[in-house]
Amino acid sequence: MEERFYREPEIARLPAFLPAATYNLAHTLLARAGKCLFVPIRSMQYMAVLDAEEFIFVDSQNKAWVELAWQRFQPKARTSLDERVPFEVAHYLPQAADTMKRLPGEFHQALLHLAGRDRPDTSATILTLHSKTRTEDSPR
């Protein structure tokens, strides 16, 4: 299945920071999914579409139109994995500034929900492996 998204001309571009927990979880889930990951943000009725270059956000009322995008992530700017990651927010629709007020927190919650669904339902079993000990009679 192929999805297509469209963008109006960019109306603003602002610097921002993404908490390390959100950035790391997003990229972990994306690596498991492959080239693209769809993240429903049910609390806002939005869909996030992640790929290696950017995260785009679309409103359920305007499914094909990108409202805003998180781009130009700079993970190498941080000195440890628990530091926030600088990036840029591109606004394509006028309501993007208002959406950004709630989006980071709600996006993180949606990622946690998605990660929780991927956990295996079965318990793990630990096998004990016994090694053979050498005796005088065993070949060398």
CA angle 11, 44, 119 (to 5 degrees): 120
* Cβ atoms 17, 107 nearer than 8 A: no
Residues 6+ positions from 24 with CB-CB distance below 8 Å? 81
**Where do the domains of the chain lie?**
12-117
Q: For position 123, what pLDDT does the model report?
A: 66
Q: How do residues 22-67 score in pLDDT, each as one tens digit?
A: 999 999 999 998 899 999 999 999 999 999 999 999 998 888 899 9
In tens, the pLDDT along 6-27 reads 999 999 999 999 999 999 999 9
Specify the pLDDT at position 1: 63
Outline where the chain has alpha helix (H). 20-33, 96-117
H, E, C per residue of 32-59: HHCCCEEEEECCCCEEEEECCCEEEEEE
Amino acid at 123: S
